[in-house]
Structure 1
Amino acid sequence: MTPSGAKVETALRDGVFRIWLSRPERHNALVPELIADLRAAIVKAGEAEPVALVLSGRGHSFSTGGDISGFLAHAGSLKELRTYAEELVGGLHDAILDLLAFPAPVLAAVNGPVTGGSTGLMLAADMVAMSERAFVQPYYCEVGFAPDGGWTALLPDRIGTAAALRIQYLNERIGAEKARALGIADSVRPLSQLEAEIDAWTSAIGQGFGQTHKATRANVWDAERLGAVRHRLDREKDRFLDLIARPETLSGMKDFGKKRA
């Protein structure tokens, strides 16, 4: 089902549509091509009318957010950098909204670290199973970016405003058990048992009426709520584009890239 060269992989098994982010050599860091492939896969998943949609990552990480090397490769001119950032962040936000509006339950199998804007893909899931070695961390204040991917649009509603702000101010690393305590994750398992947990969930979901699950999700993520999230995500994107245009942000990206090299 997966086109050659695609940066996501897909499979339909037992009525469950699975999508894997597949840029493991870069820890599934986000680039526009990956986001485009992800959005196309979500459309294909909807056409399959699955019992559930499961999102995960190949390799050691779920996703480490926007690829810093991608931003730096377009930093030759301010216009080019802003255009690239708008394509990436805008596409990511569209993908998050695609997941929120999906007509069947959305599950995330978080196999490894989740950082930066890719956290929004996890926050868009109804149920999240995390590997014991996985963690969530913002990193924005180390680079100079404004938060994107729902760190201000979705996370405060999930864990409370004060906790969401503290985590971002202090660049806190949220381990798997803490993520469960905060309500970001529903289950923590050894990596070897992660798929079994997802299979148990999809089996239980499949025993219920799909039309009921569809109606439930549509009622929760109605036009009003999706519109509010879209407004907040647009505000995140605008502030991201503002800060990425500043010289100190370019310096922050270069320093961060050296640290991660």
Structure 2
Amino acid sequence: MDVLIEEPDPGLVRITLNRPAQRNAITAAMGERLLALWTELAVRPDMRALILTGAGDLAFSAGGDLKERYRQSPADLARSQAVHRLAGTVRQTFAFPVIAAVNGAALGGGAELVLSADLVLMADHACIGLPEIRHGFMPGMGGTQALMRRVGKLAAADMLLSGKPVGPERALALGLANQVLQAAELSEAALAVARRIATAPEIAVQAIMRALHFGDEGGLTGGLALEAALHRHLMDRPERQTGLARFAERHTTTRS
């Protein structure tokens, strides 16, 4: 299978792009499978976190399969692009975080998948880049907008117009990655992050994800209004009282 699905814990799903010999390039059929998975996961009530990674240690994903695209008719290409756009729209409905475990080069559409993630862990030999300009086109899955929002206009313009990928330390400095790890540690570290999130009150995680997604797309004013409304809602929830009680008990025990 070119897309592997595992569930190491209930509600924690790991999806692996599985074409290592082709640097995990994404075919049209894979795009449709991912869209079906996104749709299925978006409505699962028990979902707590999704880990997205690639097979092998060379590439997270080299992006769209250019050999396939070269053979596609204009109608097939338009259909493939529509699937990719729809997949991005569905991803924004997730009430749980997506963790990208970048095990190698994330280029083109692969980089756009990473940019759509909420948390990014990178292997110390990995890189992220949008090299489309070198092939005479540009990102088409939201890459220009996501990159500009993540790193700012100047750094985004440099990456997009040069087509050069950035390594892990530069990615960390730009805010493209949360952590850089040795390759052997990456998989377990991503799972540990997912498990940590799964221990938090689900309603609080969902509220934070809603605020982040809306704020990213809806602008500062609307994002602040939504955050305030969600915050007020959580203040009256029993999960908050339980959390405060645990905090008080822990600190009382520490002082005594």
Query: Normalized against structure 2, the TM-score is what?
Result: 0.78
Query: Which residue number corresponds to residue 231 of structure 1?
Result: none
Query: Which residue number corresponds to residue 141 of structure 1?
Result: 133
Q: Cα–Cα, structure 1 residues 29 and 219, in superposed 2: closer, same or farther, change >3 Å?
A: same
Asked if 1:93 is matched to 2:85, the reply is: yes
Q: Cα–Cα, structure 1 residues 106 and 129, in superposed 2: closer, same or farther, change >3 Å?
A: same
Asked if 1:166 is matched to 2:164, the reply is: no
Q: Cα–Cα, structure 1 residues 223 and 203, in superposed 2: closer, same or farther, change >3 Å?
A: closer
Amino acid at match of 2:189: E
Query: Which residue number corresponds to residue 175 of structure 1?
Result: 167
Query: Which residue number corresponds to residue 214 of structure 1?
Result: 206
Asked if 1:7 is matched to 2:2, the reply is: yes
Q: 1:97 deviation in Å?
A: 2.5
Asked if 1:53 is matched to 2:12, the reply is: no
Query: Which residue number corresponds to residue 197 of structure 1?
Result: 189
Query: Which residue number corresponds to residue 71 of structure 1?
Result: 69
Amino acid at match of 1:66: G
Deviations 1:149-173, CA, capped at 9 Å, x for gaps: 2221211011001110111111222
Query: Which residue number corresponds to residue 131 of structure 1?
Result: 123
Q: Cα–Cα, structure 1 residues 118 and 149, in superposed 2: closer, same or farther, change >3 Å?
A: farther
Query: Which residue number corresponds to residue 109 of structure 1?
Result: 101
Q: 1:89 deviation in Å?
A: 2.4
Q: Which runs of 4+ in 1 moved over 4 A?
A: none
CA contact (8 A) 1:7 1:33 kept: no
Query: Which residue number corresponds to residue 17 of structure 2?
Result: 21
Q: Cα–Cα, structure 1 residues 212 and 162, in superposed 2: closer, same or farther, change >3 Å?
A: same
Distance 2:60 2:207 in 1: 29
Q: 1:202 deviation in Å?
A: 1.5
* Larger-gyration structure (1/2): 2
CA contact (8 A) 2:96 2:209 kept: yes
**Number of residue pairs matched by the alignment:** 216
**Which secondary structure state, in structure 2, belongs to the residue aligned with residue 130 of structure 1?**
strand
Distance 1:172 1:166 in 2: 8
Distance 2:211 2:136 in 1: 37
Query: Which residue number corresponds to residue 42 of structure 1?
Result: 38
Distance 1:186 1:48 in 2: 27
Distance 2:179 2:128 in 1: 15
Q: 1:223 deviation in Å?
A: 9.4
Aligned-residue Cα RMSD (Å) equals 1.9
Distance 2:198 2:138 in 1: 40
Amino acid at match of 1:7: D
Distance 1:224 1:146 in 2: 22
**Which secondary structure state, in structure 2, belongs to the residue aligned with residue 62 of structure 1?**
strand
Q: 1:68 deviation in Å?
A: 1.2
Distance 1:168 1:219 in 2: 28
Distance 1:122 1:111 in 2: 11
Deviations 1:144-199, CA, capped at 9 Å, x for gaps: 01222222121101100111011111122200111111101101111100012112
Q: Which runs of 5+ in 2 are unaligned?
A: 220-256
Distance 1:24 1:180 in 2: 25
Q: Cα–Cα, structure 1 residues 164 and 44, in superposed 2: closer, same or farther, change >3 Å?
A: same
Query: Which residue number corresponds to residue 33 of structure 1?
Result: 29
CA contact (8 A) 2:129 2:166 kept: yes
Query: Which residue number corresponds to residue 121 of structure 1?
Result: 113
